Amino acid sequence: LPTSAWALVDGAGNSQVGFWPLHIGEERFVLSVVGIPRLHQQAFTDLIWVLMLRYGAPATPSTPAATDTRPSDLLQGAHP
């Protein structure tokens, strides 16, 4: 699995601090995690979702009415 993440680990190989690059649109972020990373949790999904809404490539609206959508409306129904 190719990755460019970095971590500081203890003698047993357990992560103490980890750094993961996130490339969203033209922006670059570094996710810093202390302790064991739990990237399967809802909080991580929400973080990526919001970053994609803010910094991701703009979607081409299919109809003029699509531009009338408020950003808060885009989050509704994101997670069942």
CA separation, residue 36 to residues 10, 42, 52, 61 (Å): 12, 16, 24, 40
72: DSSP letter: H
Position 60 confidence tier, pLDDT thresholds 50, 70, 90: low
Query: Higher-confidence residue: 19 or 13?
Result: 19
Q: How many domains does the chain have?
A: 1
Classify residue 70: in a domain, yes or no: no
Residue in this structure with the two tokens 């992560």, named with its chain if needed: 15
Classify residue 9: in a domain, yes or no: yes
Classify residue 7: in a domain, yes or no: yes
The SS3 of residue 57 is: coil
pLDDT tens digits for 20-57? Answer: 999 998 899 999 999 888 889 999 999 999 999 999 87
Classify residue 3: in a domain, yes or no: yes
Classify residue 39: in a domain, yes or no: yes
Question: Which residue range forms the structural domain that includes residue 1?
Answer: 1-56
Q: Identify whether the C-beta of residue 21 lies closer than 8 Å to the C-beta of residue 28.
A: yes
- Flag whether pLDDT at 80 surpasses 70: no
Classify residue 13: in a domain, yes or no: yes
Rounded distance, CA 38 to CA 2, Å? 19
Classify residue 61: in a domain, yes or no: no
Classify residue 77: in a domain, yes or no: no
Position 2 confidence tier, pLDDT thresholds 50, 70, 90: low
